[in-house]
Amino acid sequence: MDRNSATGLFLIAALLLVYLYFFKPEAPKETPADKPTSAAAARPGTPAAAAVAAPLDSAAAARTLGAFAGAAMGTAQQTQLQNGNLTVTFSSKGGRVEAVRLNKYKTFFGKPLDLLDAQSAQIDTKFRTTTGQTVRLSDLYFQPTAAQPFAEGDKKGQRLSFVASAAGGQIEQVYTLFDNSYEMGYDLRFTGLQQTMSQEPLTYTFVDRVRQTEQDVKQNRNHTTINHYLVDDEHGALTEASEKPEELDIAEPLKWAAHKHDFFVAGIIAQDKFSNGKFNSTVDLADTTFIKTLSTTLSIPAADAQQGKASFRYYFGPNSLPILQDVTPGFDRNVFLGWGLFRWVNQFLILPVFHTLEKFISSYGIIIALLVVLIKLVTWPLTYKTYESQAKMKVLKPEIDAIKEKAGDDQMKVQQETMKLYSSFGVSPLSGCIPTLLTMPILFAMFQFFPNAIELRQEHFLWAKDLSTYDDLIRLPFEVPFLGNHISLFTVLMTLSTLLMTWQSNQMNPAAMQGPMKFYSYLMPVVFMFVLNSFASGLTWYYLVSNLATLGQQALTRRFVDDTKIRAQLEANKVKNKDKKPSGFGARLQDAMRAAQERDAATNRSASSDPDADAGTSATVVPKPKKPTRRS
């Protein structure tokens, strides 16, 4: 490995460390053990919960709800809609969704995966009356109808209605769950209530206290957020990894809003639009029950509810790109695959290849290994260019050493003469770095693909129980700073393979890596072991296979890269370029170094003319000055 390539790799490593710094899950801060958790306040059976759930008496209902007080008395009943994917539980108190279970998924701990439940989530809608009262649907008792079969074209499913009669009219909520779907239709209608209902927008609220469903609570928390999509096709989101309160007010019309729970999504999509919205998230690190609290507030035009136009769809399901792409425009942005170029690489290159391979291969560990092989084959020409550039630098090393010996400590002279040497032999110092830089988008894209790919969730491979999180075959009885309480075996093997690659490179070109550079070349893999220890095991398995493939590529490439032939080619280039003037980047670089050298020479001459530099002389002699030098 020559010095230029080594410098380039160190710069790339530095960029990678900076990138990981911003995306690595943050460790929770310690808090006093005796601090009460916020979960206790919402736990059933506590006085606070009982106070919230207590029904209003008739007098209080009349004062609070006005003409709608007649619907505030009743008994709460539970009703369900169910298909192969979802079990949705409703409460007649409010006629609202109370719990959602994903039938095909379980938590990392083997329990049924309840995306929402009565203790963790509250969905509600409120409106204003013409006499100034605020009425929440959760204050009213609705009469449920029996679930009825429903068909719409080729789609079949079940339909459930809730009706509350009050103030001379009625409020109706209709839910439609299609077979084998993660979507559920929702219609809200206010009939005959124009005289008692204000024209102020209705306020829809969704409070969601998220439970831990994955092994790594920090990743689970840091991948939980609220996404939204404007009517004018602009996506926005709260900061995922922040442990500080986050809040966002949107004054523009919205198409949808979604609560992302790492690998799952609970969202609502408007058939028309929401007038505006407000989103916030909070984290209480002392709360051992809920990892983050999400809150969404959306405005629904009153006229839409009165005219039967308040139609929506819920999505309760996996955060899977192929499924979300069919829900509504922009809904696939709930799957975070990186920013800009990295997202494009994942969406249009990695995922299509991944999904093609999984049609034929059931083991995702083998799929990842084959993905490495395919990427290595595609990038082989770039890799070969890098090896060829290193071989050219190695062949020219005797000339470069002669330049260094002749120029001594004059680094500017060394650089200038080295560039002349490269130009005469037709060698570009950047030719070894550019191929490596061109493969960087794939490298960075992988850091977002593996932790966010639901395809890898709970997929076993070798000793890893779940390729979407770290493998913890080695558990420690204590916490190690920057490492945690476990050691990922895939990460250890990846580190050892990287050290082997470094040792092999240093053996091939021992003069290129000496002193501190050689030490740092061995230190960097160890640093990355600490950084990647808590990353997805699919990622570290990918880099382990990639390192082994690279070692194989190096062994194979050495059979095709002959130093004698390269020397002959360089000599031929030297003869060909004998009378050729430098052009392009090389010429500009030489001009820049020549100008810098001239500035340094002028500075040295000015310093030698300073009278303070040689006290006792009455004048300083400067070679062929245009004007006599004057004393200051």
pLDDT at 64 (0 to 100): 80
Distances from the Cα of 143 to the Cα of 205, 247, 349, angstroms: 22, 37, 51
pLDDT at 490 (0 to 100): 92
Q: Which helix (H) or strand (E) holds 568?
A: helix 563-576
Residue carrying structure tokens 């092989």? 373
Cα dihedral 211→214→220→225 (10° resolution): -60
Strand partners, 268: 257, 314
pLDDT tens digits for 287-324? Answer: 888 999 999 999 999 999 999 899 999 999 999 999 99
Q: Which helix (H) or strand (E) holds 475?
A: strand 474-480
User: Do residues 290 and 334 make contact, with C-beta atoms less than 8 angstroms apart?
Assistant: no
* Positive or negative: CA dihedral 617, 622, 625, 629: negative
How sure is the predictor about 522, in pLDDT bands with cuts at 50, 70 and 90? Answer: confident
pLDDT at 577 (0 to 100): 64
Distance (Å, rounded) from C-alpha 290 to C-alpha 179?
A: 31
Angle 184-185-190 (CA atoms, 0-180°, nearest 5)?
140
Count of beta carbons in the 10 Å neighbourhood of residue 431: 17
Mean pLDDT confidence for 182-192:
94
pLDDT at 112 (0 to 100): 95
| Residue type at position 338 | G
User: Do residues 507 and 394 make contact, with C-beta atoms less than 8 angstroms apart?
Assistant: no
Distance (Å, rounded) from C-alpha 95 to C-alpha 76?
A: 9
Q: Which helix (H) or strand (E) holds 185?
A: strand 183-191
pLDDT tens digits for 220-264? Answer: 999 999 999 999 989 999 988 888 899 999 999 999 999 999 999
User: Do residues 77 and 91 make contact, with C-beta atoms less than 8 angstroms apart?
Assistant: yes
Q: Phi then psi for 431, rounded to 5 degrees?
A: -65, -25
With CA atoms as reference, report the closest residue to 106 among 253, 213, 204. Answer: 213
With CA atoms as reference, report the closest residue to 201 among 124, 121, 275. Answer: 275
pLDDT at 238 (0 to 100): 92
Q: Helix-strand-coil percent breakdown of the chain, rounded to 5?
A: 40, 25, 30
Instruction: Give every strand in the sheet of 96-106, ordered side by side.
Output: 78-82, 86-91, 96-106, 112-116
How sure is the predictor about 342, in pLDDT bands with cuts at 50, 70 and 90? Answer: confident
Instruction: Give every strand in the sheet of 246-250, ordered side by side.
Output: 134-136, 121-128, 202-211, 290-300, 277-282, 246-250
Mean pLDDT confidence for 375-384:
80
Q: What SS3 state is found at 88?
A: strand
52 CB contacts (<8 Å, ≥6 apart)? none
| Residue type at position 610 | D
User: Do residues 419 and 590 make contact, with C-beta atoms less than 8 angstroms apart?
Assistant: yes
With CA atoms as reference, report the closest residue to 129 among 65, 59, 57. Answer: 65
Cα dihedral 559→562→565→571 (10° resolution): 150
pLDDT at 601 (0 to 100): 60
Distances from the Cα of 436 to the Cα of 248, 299, 347, 440, angstroms: 40, 50, 22, 7
Q: What percent of the chain has pLDDT over 70?
A: 75
* Structure token pair of residue 143: 């009469």
pLDDT at 115 (0 to 100): 95
* Structure token pair of residue 334: 């709930």
Distances from the Cα of 276 to the Cα of 199, 281, 309, 313, angstroms: 16, 18, 17, 17
Distance (Å, rounded) from C-alpha 457 to C-alpha 532?
A: 18
DSSP summary character for residue 28: P
Distance (Å, rounded) from C-alpha 379 to C-alpha 216?
A: 34
User: Do residues 304 and 187 make contact, with C-beta atoms less than 8 angstroms apart?
Assistant: no
User: Do residues 316 and 100 make contact, with C-beta atoms less than 8 angstroms apart?
Assistant: yes
Mean pLDDT confidence for 419-440:
67
pLDDT at 533 (0 to 100): 86
User: Do residues 9 and 436 make contact, with C-beta atoms less than 8 angstroms apart?
Assistant: yes
Residue-averaged pLDDT of the chain: 80
Crossing angle of the two packed helices 516-532 and 489-508, in degrees rounded to 10:
160
Distance (Å, rounded) from C-alpha 125 to C-alpha 604?
A: 79
Return the minimum-mean-pLDDT range out of 192-196, 274-278, 432-436: 432-436
pLDDT at 628 (0 to 100): 46
User: Do residues 5 and 390 make contact, with C-beta atoms less than 8 angstroms apart?
Assistant: yes
Which alpha helices (H) appear in 317-465, and where do they start and end?
A: 321-324, 341-345, 351-358, 364-378, 380-395, 397-407, 411-425, 433-438, 440-452
* Structure token pair of residue 451: 């932790």
Q: What SS3 state is found at 209?
A: strand
Residues 26-39 as b or e (16 or more Cβ within 10 Å = b): eeeeeeeeeeeeeb
Distance (Å, rounded) from C-alpha 408 to C-alpha 622?
A: 25
Return the minimum-mean-pLDDT range out of 157-161, 299-303, 380-384: 380-384
